[in-house]
A = this chain, B = another copy of it.
Amino acid sequence: MKAWQEIQLQALQTSDSEHKLFQTIAALGTELGFDYCAYGLRLALPLSNPKIVKKSNYPTAWQAQYQTKNYCAIDPTVKHALRSPQPILWTDGLFASTAAFWEEARSFGLRYGWAQSMRDVHGATGMLTLARSDEPLSETELAAKAFKMAWLAQNAHIALSRRLLPKLLPEADTKLSNREIAVLRWTADGKTSGEIASIMKITERTVNFHISNAATKLNAANKTSAAVKAAMLGFL
């Protein structure tokens, strides 16, 4: 499978559009024996309504169904992906409580599938799904392809999220000063401004000053939100 090595370099290094990048990943999926490929990215923020982006070469009708019926919310593979980076197979057991959804997916040819997710420093979770209509996934096939699938899941996320994140999450490239970071760290650990003041040997007024500057930079309404955002985005 020489093509892997070649496409690999392309996928990682060229700065293609997201679309081309996804095509490359899908092509690698095809080489692994999967007609269908899907990548989903779920940002960490805002927590009460996280942004989700999907890219796939699924049948258009199914993509539309999935979107309008908000299947994302019930899809057991998504639920698993958000809890664990362990790969998961599409099995009857997995879809036990979502039979209608599972039935419908299969009617579009999405019968045998595999998925793995990955979380990055910014709290974003990426999920790669590989699927096909034809042939069940045997243990031996999985064992043989496990390494490449793991690699592909990783690199799909690294490459795609690098391109998608900046647009979707502008806060991700905020620059916080050292002081702001220090103050937010203590804040996130539950210290009051007064406590932080004595820890850092500065005035309470100054602590609040830094917090408020950080909150402005992070587009946060108050210190709680600022601490959460900074922590989730990996600034602390």
Contact residues of A with B, CB < 8 Å? 5, 8, 44-48, 82-86, 118-121, 143, 146-148, 150-151, 154-155, 157-158, 185-192, 220-228, 231-232, 234, 236
What are 14 contact pairs spanning A and B, CB under 8 A?
A8-B146, A44-B231, A47-B185, A47-B188, A47-B231, A83-B121, A85-B157, A86-B158, A118-B118, A151-B151, A154-B154, A187-B224, A189-B228, A228-B228
Interfacial chain B residues near A86, Cβ < 8 Å: 158
Q: Are A5 and B143 in contact (CB under 8 A)?
A: yes
Given A150-B147, A227-B227, CB of A190 within 8 Å of CB of B220: yes
Q: Are A191 and B82 in contact (CB under 8 A)?
A: no
Interfacial chain B residues near A46, Cβ < 8 Å: 189
Interfacial chain B residues near A234, Cβ < 8 Å: 82-83
Closest 10 pairs between A and B when the two form their complex, measured CB to CB: A190-B225, A190-B221, A147-B147, A150-B151, A188-B228, A147-B151, A224-B224, A48-B185, A47-B185, A47-B236
Given A48-B185, A231-B232, CB of A85 within 8 Å of CB of B224: no
Q: Are A190 and B224 in contact (CB under 8 A)?
A: yes
> Could you say which of B44, B188, B221, B225 contacts A225, with CB atoms under 8 Å apart?
B188
Interfacial chain B residues near A8, Cβ < 8 Å: 143, 146
Q: How far is the CA of A20 from the CA of B224 in the complex (A)?
A: 42
Given A146-B8, A147-B148, A227-B227, CB of A192 within 8 Å of CB of B222: yes
